[in-house]
């Protein structure tokens, strides 16, 4: 794994931003990791922290360690993670994962200062900008992945 996101240091706290529900687990784990590292998670998450969290998340998901998240490694079938599968080949490579996640981070970082505060996070959660991550959603209603219904 091309280590840029890995060697960045360890932090926590972002779990709530990446998806809704189903996240308590990694959240708790993140809290524990933070406690172990001896600091209280701030209400601000830097891009670097986010990157290292995502690196850990990727490792968790990629159970067989082949640097690709395949369908059977997905937490749920309609996971929002599928949005990251840019080439729609049913797998999420490491670069798809990180680039997608960082794009989400950047969307949340409203003032573009490289950190996401709890306020920004809150705002992005409520506003839900209709970013056309999914070009299929233009009316041709095939099986849109990531539809939570």
Taking CB under 5 A as the rule, does residue 62 contact Ca ion? yes
CB of 88 to Ca ion, least distance (A): 7
Question: Which one of 11, 26, 57, 85 is in contact with Ca ion (CB under 5 A)?
Answer: 85
Contact at 8 Å (CB) between 79 and 28? no
Write out the DSSP string of 3-24.
Answer: GGGGGG-----THHHH-SSS-H
* Strand (E) or helix (H) holding 92: strand 92-93
Which of 48/68 has CB closer to Ca ion?
A: 68
Residues in the chain: 149
How far apart CA 80 and CA 85 sit, in angstroms, is: 10
- Residue 113 found at the interface with Ca ion (CB under 5 A): yes
111 makes contact with Ca ion (CB under 5 A): yes
Residue 64 in contact with Ca ion, rule: CB under 5 A = yes
Residues that bind Ca ion (CB under 5 A): 62, 64, 66, 68, 85, 87, 89, 91, 109, 111, 113, 115
């Amino acid at each position: 794994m091309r280590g840029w996101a890995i060697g960045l240091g360890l932090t926590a706290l972002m779990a709530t931003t990446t998806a809704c529900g189903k996240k308590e687990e990694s959240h708790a784990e993140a809290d524990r990791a933070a406690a172990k590292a001896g600091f209280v998670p701030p209400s601000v998450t830097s891009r670097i922290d986010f990157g290292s969290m995502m690196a850990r998340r990727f490792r968790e998901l990629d159970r067989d360690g082949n640097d690709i998240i395949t369908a059977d490694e997905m937490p749920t079938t309609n996971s929002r993670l599928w949005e990251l599968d840019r080439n729609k080949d049913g797998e999420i490579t490491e670069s798809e994962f990180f680039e997608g996640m960082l794009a989400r981070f950047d969307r949340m970082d409203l003032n573009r200062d490289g950190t996401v505060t709890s306020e920004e996070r809150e705002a992005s959660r409520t506003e839900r900008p209709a970013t056309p991550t999914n070009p299929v959603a233009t009316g041709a209603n095939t099986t849109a992945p990531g539809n939570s219904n």
